Amino acid sequence: MIDRDELLHVARLARLALHEDELETTAAELSSILGHVAAIDQLDLDGVEPTAHIGDVSDSLRADQPRPSLAREVALAPAPAVRDDGFLVPSPQGE
C-alpha cells in the first residue's frame, strides 16, 4: 500500500493538486495498479531479456534530411497567449 507521504510526493512531481478527501481513494487506486504490475515479479524471469520495444527494431533511424517546418502562425495557433512571435507563458518560479 502506497503511503500518504509517497502519494503527496508523487502528486507534487506530477503537479496534481489532491484534496484531502481524495488522498485515501487515490492511494488505494494507485496501489491497486502497482499491485497489478507487481504480479510480474512472481514469475521466474532469470535469463529473460527485458523487452525494450515490441515493434521491428531494425533500421529504426532516420536520414538527416530536412523536412518543411510548420508556418509560424500554425505553430502558434494553439498557444494560449502569444508575444513577440513566441509562446507567452508564466515564468517558472522556484524550480
Partner 1 sequence: MAGAELEPVIGLEIHVQLRTATKMFCGCALGFGEPPNTRTCPVCLGLPGALPVANAEAIHYGLMIGMALESELAPISTFHRKNYFYPDLPKGYQISQFDLPLCSGGKLGEVNIHRVHIEEDAAKLNHAGASGRIEGADSSIVDFNRGGTPLAEIVTEPELGSAEQAGEWLRLLRTTLRTLGVSDVNMEEGSLRCDANISLRPVGTDQLGTKTELKNMNSFRFIERGIRAEVDRQRAIIEAGETVTQETLHFDPKSESITSLRSKEEAHDYRYFPEPDLPPVMITGEMLARASAALPELPAARELRYIEALSLSPESARLFAWRAELADYFDAVCAADKSLDRQLAANWVTELQGRLGEEEAEDSKVTAAALAQLAAMVASSQINQGGAKQVLDQLVAAGGDPAAIVADQGLEAVGGADELAPIVAAALEANPELTERLRGGDMKPIGVIIGEVMKQTRGRADGKEVTALVREQLGLS
Among 4, 12, 21, 38, which residue sits at the site for partner 1 (rule: CB under 8 A)?
A: 12
- Alpha-carbon distance of 3 to 9, in angstroms, equals 10
Q: Is 69 in the site for partner 1 (CB under 8 A)?
A: yes
Distance CA 76, CA 70 (A): 10
Q: Which amino acid is at 79?
A: A
CA end-to-end distance (rounded Å), the chain? 30
Site size toward partner 1 (CB under 8 A) is 37
CB of 10 to partner 1, least distance (A): 9
Least Cβ distance, residue 94 to partner 1 (angstroms)? 7
Q: Does residue 42 bind partner 1 (CB under 8 A)? A: no
Sequence-distant (6+) residues with CB within 8 A of 28 are 1
Residues that bind partner 1 (CB under 8 A): 9, 12-13, 15, 52-53, 55-58, 60-67, 69-70, 72, 75-76, 78, 83-95
